[in-house]
Amino acid sequence: MRRTYLLCAVKVDPASLDTTRRALRRMCLPSQRRLHFEREQDARRRSLLGQIARLNIRATVYQCDEPSQIAARMGCLRQLLTDESAAMTRLVLDACETMDRRDRRLIYLAARDLGMAATFTYEHLRSFEEPILWAADAVAWAVGAGRSWHSRVNDIVAAVVDVKADFSVR
């Protein structure tokens, strides 16, 4: 079965990181450690997307139609690194036991090939450790949920990029 894989890259000016993280943390309910759009009700989703759309962030969503989630993720990640190789200084990915090793391998090879190895850092963090990941999750969810949801984040989504799957890193 073919399903669209989405990877959302959220860019934040380093001078705005602390303010953005605090704003995202304030959006959590008292019982929440993090925001996760799969678990929210529609009214809360609308409210959260409205708040996120007012943050000082820009997002690019990479999408790949491929039955292999691994190949789709690798294609999206490679395209992100290619697109941002000149400007990226730090990349934080949501930790996922089944993907982290593949991510590290692809990032190492792409950074070397793109001449970025000495100019940027990356790490995998659990989603509750980095609130910026919540914004990426929210934007990806909105783009994947259809036009009415996507329209709520239009002002911060710079582009939705179609990507070919990458079968080179498994």
Task: Determine the pLDDT at residue 134.
Answer: 96
Q: What is the pLDDT of residue 30?
A: 93
Q: Give this prediction's pTM.
A: 0.92
Sign for the pseudo-dihedral over CA of 31, 17, 6, 77: negative
Model pLDDT, residue 118: 74
What's the whole-number average pLDDT of the chain?
A: 91
pLDDT for res 49: 97
Residue type, 81: L
Asked whether residue 76 carries a pLDDT value surpassing 70, the answer given is yes
Contact 105, 170 (CB under 8 A): no
Is residue 2's pLDDT more than 70?
no
Element (H, E) at 77: helix 69-84
Strand partners, 139: none
Q: What confidence score (pLDDT) does residue 127 get?
A: 92
Contacts of 133 (CB under 8 A, 6+ apart): 34, 92, 94, 125, 127
Q: Under a CB-based contact definition with an 8 Å cutoff, are residues 149 and 142 in contact?
A: yes
Task: Inform me whether the pLDDT recorded for 169 exceeds 90.
Answer: no
Cα 147 to Cα 125: distance, rounded to the nearest angstrom: 30
Query: Which tokens is 5 given?
Result: 């894989």
Maximum Cα–Cα distance for the chain, whole Å?
Answer: 45
Q: What is the pLDDT of residue 86?
A: 81
Q: Are 64 and 165 in contact (CB under 8 A)?
A: yes
Structural contact between residues 64 and 75, judged by C-beta atoms closer than 8 angstroms: yes
Identify the band that residue 1 occupies on the pLDDT scale cut at 50, 70 and 90. very low
Q: Where are the domains of the chain?
A: 4-162
d(CA 68, CA 108) in angstroms, rounded, equals 22
> Which amino acid would we find at residue 164?
K
